[in-house]
């Protein structure tokens, strides 16, 4: 949806209204989710976090697409989110799961500043922000699970994230419609990383416009 821009002539995208399912998915954390989404809408473009064409689908494509993963996080766990960018899914998961500590691993300074200032503004005490590439952090962060969204294909993502986990740890990656092709192309990396219990989950059916596909695998 668009509306005339103040300059006239061109049209500016209108942010999506909050879908009905948002309050159900966030439960008593919905006010925090609303505040985060409003700030992302207000400042995301100026900070280079999100393009204007994303505004008309900010809830369904980004916020809800992220929050449907919340039930997959282990109780009380430390969970790393690689390449958090605007905070997707990392900050959204921290909002939805206050029992989990989200460790946001992001190399770009401007994005790190945003992640730190937003977690402070929202009063999220369960967020740690690490300015680094995944390849630089190793096992010291004591993570039980690692998430990632829109960072790279599985054949690249698995080798850079597997070293962050011990045996029993889990990879939980938000993926697109081509996830099965990515799995096919990453067979060598999957074997080398000693991954088992590999599955593709489709989450959010009935709650989001397009289901969220998740690649989940456990280190054995």
Ligand X SMILES: C[S@@+](CC[C@H](N)C(=O)[O-])C[C@H]1O[C@@H](n2cnc3c(N)ncnc32)[C@H](O)[C@@H]1O
Binding residue positions for S-adenosyl-L-methionine: 83, 88, 134-135, 149
Task: Figure out which of the listed residues 107, 128, 131, 153 binds ligand X, where binding follows CB under 6 A.
Answer: 107
In whole angstroms, what is the distance from residue 13 CA to residue 58 CA? 11
Residue numbers 120-179 binding ligand X by CB under 6 A: 133-135, 149-151, 160
Does the protein bind ligand X through residue 13 (CB under 6 A)? no
The site string for ligand X over 173-212 (x = CB under 6 A, - otherwise) reads ----------------------------------------
Yes or no: say if 203 and 68 are a contact pair by the CB < 8 Å rule: yes
Known binding residues are 83, 88, 134-135, 149
Q: Which residues contact 32 (CB under 8 A, 6 or more apart)?
A: 26, 95, 122, 123, 124
Report the C-alpha dihedral over residues 219, 217, 93, 103, rounded to 10 degrees. 30
Tell me how far, at minimum, the Cβ of 148 lies from ligand X, in Å.
Answer: 7
Yes or no: say if 75 and 99 are a contact pair by the CB < 8 Å rule: yes
Edge-to-edge strand list for the sheet holding 195-203: 127-130, 101-105, 78-82, 143-149, 165-175, 212-219, 195-203
Residue numbers 36-95 binding ligand X by CB under 6 A: 82-86, 88
Nearer to ligand X, 111 or 213 (CB): 111
Nearer to ligand X, 174 or 219 (CB): 174
SS3 label, residue 38: helix
Nearer to ligand X, 135 or 196 (CB): 135
Tell me how far, at minimum, the Cβ of 134 lies from ligand X, in Å.
Answer: 4
Tell me how far, at minimum, the Cβ of 172 lies from ligand X, in Å.
Answer: 13
Tell me how far, at minimum, the Cβ of 97 lies from ligand X, in Å.
Answer: 17
Yes or no: say if 5 and 12 are a contact pair by the CB < 8 Å rule: yes
Tell me how far, at minimum, the Cβ of 111 lies from ligand X, in Å.
Answer: 5
Nearer to ligand X, 3 or 102 (CB): 102
End-to-end CA gap in the chain = 47
Phi, psi for 89 (deg, rounded to 5): -90, 0
Residues that bind ligand X (CB under 6 A): 82-86, 88, 105-108, 111, 133-135, 149-151, 160
């Amino acid at each position: 949806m668009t509306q005339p821009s103040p300059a006239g002539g061109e049209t500016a995208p209108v942010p999506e209204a909050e879908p009905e399912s948002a309050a159900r998915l966030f439960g008593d954390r919905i006010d925090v989710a609303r505040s985060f989404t409003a700030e992302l809408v207000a400042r995301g473009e100026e900070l280079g976090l999100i393009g204007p064409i994303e505004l008309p689908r900010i809830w369904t494509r980004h916020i809800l697409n992220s929050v449907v993963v919340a039930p997959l996080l282990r109780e009380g766990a430390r969970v790393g989110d690689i390449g958090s960018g605007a905070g997707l899914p990392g900050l959204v998961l921290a909002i939805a799961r206050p029992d989990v500590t989200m460790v946001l691993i992001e190399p770009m300074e401007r994005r790190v500043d945003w992640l730190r200032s937003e977690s402070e503004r929202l009063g999220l005490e369960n967020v740690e922000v690490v300015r680094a590439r995944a390849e630089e952090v190793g096992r010291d962060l004591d993570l039980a699970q690692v998430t990632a969204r829109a960072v790279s294909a599985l054949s690249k993502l698995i080798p850079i994230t597997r070293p962050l986990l011990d045996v029993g740890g889990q990879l939980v990656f938000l993926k697109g419609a081509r996830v099965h092709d990515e799995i096919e192309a990453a067979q060598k990396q999957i074997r080398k990383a000693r991954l088992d219990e590999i599955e593709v989950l489709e989450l959010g059916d009935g709650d989001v416009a397009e289901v969220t596909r998740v690649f989940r695998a456990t280190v054995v």
